[in-house]
Structure 1
């Protein structure tokens, strides 16, 4: 699967309804993680077989919203509950694992981006799902953060993809806010008569994404 096939932000694609519909069309195991409800749902051949409480990333260290694959299964140390399901996220190391801070699980999103579970649940999930399992992480109520050099995540990826479609960004969209993206943001700000900062605040993000959506509609 090419990286462009991934759908990074719920503002454009994934909703609870479409996610549940997609699960019915997948043979084998499918993991759906809703960070608004803090629930991981495990499907097998389209049928829901387990639900578990989880905790995702904080606002400044968000979880990778989108559709991924399990590419690594390992027995990690005590802080990870001994069970690690690694995902093929290109901008960092993210996965599903246990935790030595179980009081956050099912209560709030408090991690550095990984999906935390209670240790016994993580072990049960680890024992069931194979390499290659599809994992869909969704979140409609995503806290916004000002994007700047050094940041990485699904929100950065969305800006890259949008600016690339709009003709400002000419590099590979990898979810990392590097020098090339900063130059592209500055170019966009200058072209649109905006204050030049090289960062992306909420107003600028909304403007870029709206133009991107409008362009997609034009080509439908």
Structure 2
């Protein structure tokens, strides 16, 4: 179970509003940043997120946004409790363990039938129109303005799920946080202390909302709620550099291939950026029906066959 929830979300660290001074190392990334004692000290929202999560898990730590000796000691305690090397260094393994523990039934779900509640809700975020639209039972419910990722750090297109929820995760995340199960980084839907950014491409990949809006939305969204992030209604923008894809890989280009296969009528699970068993099976099925070598790998020949490159 633990390894199936790659990046359980660490789907968090969205905006990365780091303090920029010469006496600190700002970690401006969304891909499981490695955190440790350093000179100058690491600080920013990556560290704040770590400290907030440790506090949420019951560790005695005051979030300061600075990775100091006390933070290292609390990380070591967490590592000891999870039977991994206790070196006080936050690696991808630590992030994943830290957030997979958040897969608990949501306290805000009114119904006893969690699967029924999940099926009722769908969130669709359009990165072109900067909108977050909520659907209930397949029908439009409400639309909110939002901010999305900048061109250099785009929001991840794909079909995701809400896998973590939290309150008041520091000013950079506003008053509410809902993390996504994106396998290659740290993304979520959250509030903001920069309301002027709403309606623009301003974040490092996460979805920002006005605090009042995310507070209204938060109690209505159970764990497992589906989230689609699209570009002008589409999961596949058509402007990417193809690479050979094989089983166990992940990334935005895996989403594009999954999405294109679905557009061509090959139905399987979500376009979630994970090249697993079902994606491999579908690739082989496509290759068999289109006279290609049945390898289960996405090569230049298959990209061309699907109309994704010239």
TM-score range, shorter chain: 0.5 to 0.7
Instruction: Select which of 129, 153, 161 maps to 1:69.
Output: 161
2:184 touches 2:251 (CA, 8 Å); kept in 1?
yes
Give, in angstroms, the shift of residue 172 of structure 1.
Answer: 2.6
Structure 1 unaligned blocks of 5 or more: 4-25, 145-154, 165-169, 178-207
Work out whether 1:215 is the aligned partner of 2:305.
Answer: yes
**Residues 210 and 109 of structure 1, relative CA distance in 2, 3 Å threshold:** farther
1:112 maps to what in 2? 204
CA distance in 2: counterparts of 1:176 and 1:213, whole angstroms: 15
Instruction: Select which of 146, 157, 180 maps to 1:87.
Output: 180
1:21-60 to 2 correspondences below 5 Å: 27-60=119-152
Structure 2 unaligned blocks of 5 or more: 6-117, 254-297
**Residues 103 and 38 of structure 1, relative CA distance in 2, 3 Å threshold:** same
Give, in angstroms, the shift of residue 132 of structure 1.
Answer: 0.2
CA distance in 2: counterparts of 1:134 and 1:96, whole angstroms: 12
* Cα RMSD after superposing both structures: 3.0
Instruction: Select which of 170, 173, 194 maps to 1:101.
Output: 194
CA distance in 1: counterparts of 2:179 and 2:210, whole angstroms: 17
Q: Give deviations 1:195-219, integer Å, cap 9, x for gaps.
A: xxxxxxxxxxxxx9985443347xx
Q: Secondary structure at the match of 1:120?
A: helix
Q: Secondary structure at the match of 2:202?
A: coil
1:167 maps to what in 2? none
The number of residues matched between the two structures is 144
The two structures have a TM-score, normalised by structure 1, of 0.58
Q: Which has the higher Rg, Structure 1 or Structure 2? A: 2
CA distance in 2: counterparts of 1:78 and 1:139, whole angstroms: 28
Work out whether 1:126 is the aligned partner of 2:200.
Answer: no
2:191 touches 2:209 (CA, 8 Å); kept in 1?
yes
CA distance in 1: counterparts of 2:206 and 2:142, whole angstroms: 20
1:84 touches 1:96 (CA, 8 Å); kept in 2?
yes
